[in-house]
Structure 1
Amino acid sequence: MMIFIPFPLTFSVLLPFFLIVLFIYKNSKRRINKARLPSGEMGLPWIGETVEFYKAQRTNQLFENFFQPRIMKHGQVFKTKLMGSPTVVVNGATANKFFMSNEFKLVVSSWPTSSVELMGKNSIMEKQGDSHRCLRGIITSTLSITGLQAMVPRMCSSIQKHLQKNWQHSEEISLYRSTKMLTFTIVLECLFGIGIEPETLFGVFERVLEGVLSPPVNFPGSKFSRAKKARTEIEKVLITEVRRKREEMEGGRDEEDDMLFSKLVAALIRGEITEEEVVDNVVLLVFAAHDTTSYAITMTFKMLATHPDCYSLLLKEHEDIARNKKPGESLTLEDVKKMEYTWQVARETMRLCPPIFGSFRKATTDIEFEGFTIPRGWKVLWTTYGTHYDERCFPDPMSFNPSRFADPVQAYAFIPFGGGPRLCAGYQLAKLNILVLVHYVVTQYNWSLLDPEEPIFMDPLPYPSKGMPIKISRKSDN
């Protein structure tokens, strides 16, 4: 039976509700208008300056064509609108320290909708407080000194197998594609210990990556739609692996070891985390640990190729280490610690060619910073370029000078791995991956770039447009 409510009665009931909403809205507008916002342009309605941002990103010119012109016009702190959200972009070591150290207090992680849906709503990227600390504790326990000592031989084995299979009988390879496949393999085999053939999932993960910064429009054929389908494929495979591992551990046929996948499933059994959290964190960490690392490795070799004096110093460091190893003997963590100059080269490469441009946060309260007010709910974007290319942090910033890292650098100035409570949990894995691979390549192969001027594009992360082809030959064959 339909009940008819007279219009005057309906109006009298709803009017107070509308007045309250209007009051809140006007107060919110008044609060923002009274605040001293940073200068800047908000661009078109809703879209803001997103088109300009994506255009600069695509050609890997975010600093030159988006951030730098606005810094010159408005200063180190400026407002804009990106992906539908009013955003304040902050630059400089002081800003990095302020926002990174106030994670969970003034700001929280706030990636675009597409990134969250594809990386996982239950991943550490989205977790706050106790949930974040629990997951981070599980991850970092795998990368303790003991964990790293056990990981180095496994990594040596994976790298040598990859080189024998893909490099040994080749004269030319795509360095970027080869390192992407290798780092993906290392994450699955050496970090997680998941018994899945990397080749079966590599292409699917690549399809997901294509959509992580795309507009979250889920219509057939769009990047986001293709990425969502690929994400579903990965999820099905991982859920099967999680349940198989859980059944074996609960049945006494397997036990917790030093692999991250085992530790996550053990935490699931103890009721500390959910199945969704296991899956989402595997997905996130595969991306975080392999894609940015492969770019860093590729650009390290490019810098070495174009700076032969640096390459000579690096090669000597590795030849000295190899001279003290027996044939076929794996490296140890102590050997890796001796690669000091190599790590200077890698850090200088990541300073000039950061694998990520920055990271988004959301203000959980009105924030007073350098005389400006950042309203609650606005996004905050810190950038690597804001310090990496700043001569106050790094004199002559556009020159390649690894020795600048021989001494400690200013805190919060070098931030390819972020900082504060959200410092990249896979930092040590990335470092090991870079150093161990460089060792085996430079001691076993002669190599040279085929196109030193190859352009770098970004979609959504930076990559060499031709895959960085290199000519190679085994040293033992000469």
Structure 2
Amino acid sequence: MACASTINLVSWVFSFFVAAAMVCIIFFLTRKKSCSKNKKELPPGEMGIPWIGETIQFFKAQRKNRLFEDFFQPRITKHGKIFKTSLFGSSTVVMNGAEANRFVLSNEFKLVISSWPSSSVQLMGKDCIMQKQGEQHRCLRGLISTTLSHSAGMEALVPKICNSVQLHLDRYWRGQDRLHLYRLTKILTFTIVFECLLGIKVEAGMLERFERVLEGVFAPAISFPGSRFSRAKKARMGIQKMLVKVVREKRMEMEGGQDSDHHDHHHHHHQEGMLLSQLVAGMICGDITEEEVIDNVVLLVFAAHDTTSFAIAMTFKLLAQYPNSHSLLLQEHAEIMREKKSGEVLRMEDIKKMKYTWQVARESMRLFPPIFGSFRKAVADIEYDGFTIPKGWKVLWTAYGTHYNEEYFKDPLSFNPSRFEEHIPPYAFLPFGGGPRVCAGYQLAKLNILVFVHFVVTRYDWSLLCPDESITMDPLPFPSQGMPIKISPKL
């Protein structure tokens, strides 16, 4: 034990000196520059202390899941919708509002490019679509979205997702009277990505490995032994090994089966692990590389895993707090059940009837966005709203900037699913982002949420064990206690 803490202390002291040295260097560099200040006007705002900027205030607010209240709101009030700050060592302009969102998101590849911290890039992999620009991004994304948003592909996924959800409930819910909803839905979303999309059986320890990678994604990219980042890198190597094996087996199976019983084989693939088959097929034609296949599988798991389970958890939290909504939602599902013969599976047309359920889920994501926004980097000087954002600066758009704004949502802090019956202005509701990088897994997330809600509310009565449970963030939001609930099977 002592040894580990000494290493930690040494590494802490070391990183402190590195940081101090950098502060000095940057301080001198910036002092020289400010004399030759150009006449273009930067947005108002404070840059905080050298190098660190306002990162500490940002992290503090994030930990308490009060980014909007403690970080964005006070600065919007003081400086307006567009303000400058410095976060994670980069000069950053934060832009709020539907117009600003539209501007940032629709100018992807032209004025801005997606920009992630170096630790994220190293762990997700430099070959995933999060990192690709322009033409390369389009080609890869096209491959992925034919599976993830194509109606025939989705239609085929419905029974598989239903099956996964039912197996999950049998295994983790049956016979229990209390459980941790958030914790369990993480296992479920993980299983759905692997078994339904990739056709890979989930083995013991796989989920923990991915979680370890996730822990390092926003940690400083410092590789001394025992750091969050190096633990994450080690886990990433393990995942890499496992996936390389799976991808190569799949490739041999697909290449081998091409001559003999071509038709049969093709049909079988269509059923099992559609996305993986699509990607490996792209690899066989030489359109994409093995690294691209693997990095995108890792990204997919990462993107689906915490976000979907958080959206599900918040949906249940709000249903518990608003019994009227709960009973409206129950009626919708009872109606669907009435139309079905006993034991008959759900189909896409049943999912389409879950209109109110989807309003509840969207209202939950409006109030509790699974991702607060994302960073872009200016690839040219950008003129916007009378201000200049210099080339090389980061640009941050946020979901809070519109989700919590009177202008777009009347009485924004109240829970009101029926507001989604009316027209929502474009770029105001952004739990899935927008523009060319809009979430590729949007349809999958929707199916996952709706199917899960359906089976739970038709089979169980449930209530929150910690109604006042706080939401923390590290780096993504989660219920601090794992969302314990009490359940009893419906008769």
TM-score by length of 1: 0.92
Name the structure 2 match of 1:261: 276
Corresponding residue to 2:154 among 148, 153, 156: 148
CA distance in structure 1 between the partners assigned to 2:310 and 2:364 by the alignment: 10
The answer on whether the counterparts of 1:188 and 1:198 sit within 8 Å (CA) in structure 2 is no
SS of the residue 1:257 aligns to: helix
Is 1:164 the counterpart of 2:170 in the alignment? yes
Aligned-CA RMSD value:
1.7
Is 2:149 the counterpart of 1:134? no
| Structure 1 residue aligned with 2:212 | 207
In structure 2, C-alpha distance between the alignment counterparts of 1:76 and 1:378, rounded to whole Å: 17
Corresponding residue number in structure 2 for 1:323: 338
User: How far apart, CA to CA, are the structure 2 residues paired with 1:196 and 1:318?
Assistant: 31
Q: Is the contact between residue 176 and residue 467 of structure 1 (CA under 8 Å) also seen in structure 2?
A: yes
The 1-side partners of 2:422 and 2:95 are apart by 26
Which shifted more, 181-190 or 195-204? 195-204
Which residue of 2 is the match for residue 251 of structure 1? Answer: 256
Task: Please give the secondary structure, in 2, of the residue aligned with 1:69.
Answer: helix
Match of 1:425 in 2: 440
In 2: Cα distance, 1:64 partner to 1:213 partner: 22
Q: Are positions 1:173 and 2:186 aligned together? A: no
* More off after superposition, 410-419 vs 46-55: 46-55
Alignment correspondent of 1:19: none
Give the counterpart letter for 1:330 in structure 2: V
Unmatched segments (≥5 aa) in structure 1: 1-24
- Between stretches 240-249 and 367-376, larger displacement belongs to 240-249
Give secondary structure in 2 for the equivalent of 1:181.
helix
Equivalent residue, structure 1, for 2:198: 192
Q: 1:184 touches 1:198 (CA, 8 Å); kept in 2?
A: no
1:470 aligns with 485
Indicate if the aligned counterparts of 1:106 and 1:363 stay in contact, CA closer than 8 A: yes
Change (3 A) 1:31 1:270: farther
User: 1:356 aligned to 2:362?
Assistant: no
User: Residue 339 of structure 2 aligns to which amino acid in structure 1?
Assistant: N
Q: 2:416 aligns with which of 371, 376, 401?
A: 401
Shift of 1:266: 0.7
Of the three residues 91, 113, 120, the one matched with 2:96 is 91
C-alpha separation in 1, matches of 2:38 and 2:201: 55
TM-aligned CA deviation for residue 250 of structure 1: 1.5
* SS at 1:355 equivalent: coil
Tell me the secondary structure at the aligned position of residue 409 of structure 2: coil
Conserved 8 A contact 1:192-1:261: yes
Distance 1:171 1:31 in 2: 68
Please give the residue correspondences for 1:231-242 in structure 2 after superposition, counting only pairs within 5 Å: 231-242=236-247
Q: Is this contact kept in 2: 1:257–1:263, CA < 8 A? A: no
The one-letter amino acid of 1:161's match is: L
How far apart in 1 are the matches of 2:233 and 2:374?
22
Which digits, 9 at most, give the CA deviation of each residue in 1:367-405, with x for residues without a partner? 001110000111000001000000101010000000000
SS in 2 for 1:413: coil
Give the CA deviation at 1:196. Answer: 2.7
Matched residue SS, 1:390: coil
- Residue 37 of structure 1: which of 42, 46, 51 is its match? 42
Q: Distance in 2 between matches of 1:400 and 1:473?
A: 26
Contact kept, 8 Å, 1:456 with 1:465, in 2: the verdict is: yes
Q: Is the 8 A contact 2:195 2:202 kept in 1?
A: no
Relative to structure 1, the CA distance from residue 375 to residue 269 in structure 2 (aligned partners, 3 Å threshold; closer, same or farther) is: same
1:347 pairs with 2:352: no
Cα–Cα, structure 1 residues 166 and 369, in superposed 2: closer, same or farther, change >3 Å? same
2:123 corresponds to which residue? 118
Aligned pair count?
Answer: 452
2:293 aligns with 278
Q: Does 1:334 align with 2:346?
A: no
Shift of 1:30: 7.6
> What letter is aligned with 1:235?
Q
CA contact (8 A) 1:185 1:198 kept: no
1:293 shift after superposition: 0.4
SS at match of 1:210: helix
Query: Quick check: 70-79 or 292-301, which moved more?
Result: 70-79
**Cα deviation, residue 66, structure 1:** 1.1
TM-fit CA distance, 1:257:
2.6
The answer (yes or no) to whether the contact 2:160–2:196 under 8 Å persists in 1 is yes
Q: Tell me the alpha carbon deviations over residues 62-101 of structure 1, each in whole angstroms, 9 at most, x when there is no partner.
A: 1111111111111111111111111100000000001111
Deviation at 1:34, TM superposition (A): 2.1
> Aligned partners of 2:197 and 2:34: how far apart in 1?
49
Unaligned runs of 5+ in 2: 1-29, 259-264
Alpha-carbon contact 2:91-2:393 (below 8 Å) kept: yes
- Aligned counterpart, 1:50: 55
Q: Secondary structure at the match of 1:291?
A: helix
What's 2:233 paired with? 228
Secondary structure of the 1:314 match is helix
**Take 1:221 and 1:149, find their aligned partners in 2: how far apart are those partners?**
45
Check the 8 A contact 1:32/1:375 in 2, yes or no.
no
What SS does the aligned partner of 2:270 have?
coil
* Residue number in structure 1 paired with 2:78: 73
- Distance change (3 Å), C-alpha of 1:198 and 1:412: farther
